[in-house]
Amino acid sequence: MTIQLSPTVTPIAHGVDLLRADIDRIDDQILALLEQRYPLVQRLAGAKNVTGERRLALRPARERGIVERLAARAVGVPEADIRQIWRSIFALSARHQRPYRVILWGPEEARLTLTALAATRHGAAVPVEWADSAEEAWRAAAGGDAILMLPEGAAPADAHGLDLIERHATDRADHPWVLELGRLAEAEAEPGAWIAPTTGVVAYLGGHGSYSEEACLRVAPALRLLPLGDFADVLRAVREGSADLALVPVENSLVGPIEGVRDLLGHPELRVVGEEEVAVRLHLLGVEGASLETVRKVASHPAALGQCADWLGQRSWKEMPVASTAEAARAVAVGGDVTRAAIGSEAAAIWHGLTILARDLQGSDRNVTRFAIVERRREFA
């Protein structure tokens, strides 16, 4: 759309009036476009179901995409100006979709920086409050209706459960970075929009024959597999860069959320980029010579033991929770003991040379585990 402007060469006495008339015409156009933009934002609120959960309406990845696209098109408007103008639009739009406030926390010397940053980032439309402690600030943001801004390193010990919205550089040596954190929608990237890398390393729990391995092979078959001992190690590998991707189970249709994973996923340097569902069949695996009569102890990951609770309830075997189904199978194979069995997949039986003593112990025909595909946030990469 091109707007008809007055000729630029005008006598100076009339120049100001004519220029202002042009500016008024452009402002009318901007307003007319905002009149069209606002209802679209409202409709998006419905599509995003921002009232359903206590989570922010803000979508930082989408905001970055818009600013990048506009900056690439711009000729005379600097990128910093585009970012500043659209930040106000985004903050107002998000606030119309679902009200939020900004909570600030930091030492005395960081207060000016934080106040100024909150104002430029969210504009005057968003209420700003100071918290009395780091813990209080964190709790407020974890409630889902507030954004927390604090200098890097000022987070309370053991803090988790918030997503990184943005990392702002400041001009202060004593607090060079301010983090902006909040509870974002589960997978901020649209499901399906993520494209698996074709080189690199994928970390997962367990080893050969685990369902996590199956999830990795489905999602990113070209990547080198990096099996690790527990969920904390798997996600640390992504944060520290020794893996490009991690796959971790978050929920199983029979036993619900997988213990401990959700908290670890809340780390601000991590980002869930997609999901993969894997149908899980669990079998009893033993060494040669073992049978249902010889077994006394059964080892597996607690979630797998839980999925077989009905079947195991009919026996008086001792249940041994271990780090993963693959680890259980490995230990049984190495032990060579007919009184011990593992619960795991057919692939685990093949990998470890075990015999399947009983099939499909899971309590339902439809036993599905949902895996999160996790990357390091771009800001930290």
Crossing angle of helices 79-97 and 111-122, rounded to 10°: 80
| CA–CA–CA angle 105, 153, 143 (5° rounding) | 50
Q: Cα–Cα distance between 113 and 98 in angstroms, integer?
A: 26
The single residue of 113, 170, 231, 371 carrying the catalytic annotation is 371
Active site residue 355: no
Nearest to ligand PRE of 59, 330 (CB atom) = 59
Q: Interface with ligand PRE includes 166 (CB under 6 A)?
A: no
Q: How many residues bind ligand PRE (CB under 6 A)?
A: 14
Strands 355-358 vs 283-286: parallel, antiparallel or unpaired: antiparallel
From residue 332 to residue 371, the character string flagging contacts with ligand PRE as x (rule: CB under 6 A) and all else as - is: ----------------------------------------
Q: How far is the CB of 375 from ligand PRE (least distance, A)?
A: 20
Q: How far is the CB of 66 from ligand PRE (least distance, A)?
A: 6
Q: How far is the CB of 37 from ligand PRE (least distance, A)?
A: 7
From residue 272 to residue 291, the character string flagging contacts with ligand PRE as x (rule: CB under 6 A) and all else as - is: --------------------
Nearest to ligand PRE of 48, 239 (CB atom) = 48
Q: How far is the CB of 191 from ligand PRE (least distance, A)?
A: 15
Nearest to ligand PRE of 97, 324 (CB atom) = 97
DSSP character string of 228-243:
ESSHHHHHHHHHHTS-
Nearest to ligand PRE of 58, 328 (CB atom) = 58
- How many residues make up the chain in this entry? 381
The single residue of 113, 170, 325, 369 carrying the catalytic annotation is 369
Nearest to ligand PRE of 94, 110 (CB atom) = 94
Cβ contact 164:269 at 8 Å: yes
Q: How far is the CB of 189 from ligand PRE (least distance, A)?
A: 12
Footprint (CB under 6 A) of ligand PRE, residues 49-108: 57-59, 62-63, 66, 89-90, 93-94, 97
- Reported for 136-144, long-range contacts at CB under 8 A and 24+ positions apart, including other chains, are 136/105, 137/103, 137/104, 137/105, 138/162, 140/103, 141/103, 141/181, 141/182, 141/183, 142/183, 143/54, 144/53, 144/54, 144/55, 144/56, 144/182, 144/183
Footprint (CB under 6 A) of ligand PRE, residues 206-235: none
Q: Cα–Cα distance between 302 and 305 in angstroms, integer?
A: 5
Active site residue 115: no
Number of Cβ within 10 Å of residue 251's Cβ equals: 18
Cβ contact 145:18 at 8 Å: no
Q: In the structure encoding, which two tokens stand for residue 13, read together? A: 């006495």
From residue 33 to residue 52, the character string flagging contacts with ligand PRE as x (rule: CB under 6 A) and all else as - is: --------x--x---x----
Nearest to ligand PRE of 62, 262 (CB atom) = 62
Q: How far is the CB of 87 from ligand PRE (least distance, A)?
A: 10
DSSP character string of 139-154:
HHHHTTSEEEEEETT-
Residue nearest to ligand PRE (CB): 93
Nearest to ligand PRE of 95, 330 (CB atom) = 95
CB within 8 A of 78, min separation 6: which ones?
A: none
Cβ contact 105:155 at 8 Å: no
Q: How far is the CB of 56 from ligand PRE (least distance, A)?
A: 8
Q: Which residues pair with 284 in a beta bridge?
A: 343, 358
The catalytic residues are 369, 371
| Interface residue list for ligand PRE (CB under 6 A) | 41, 44, 48, 57-59, 62-63, 66, 89-90, 93-94, 97
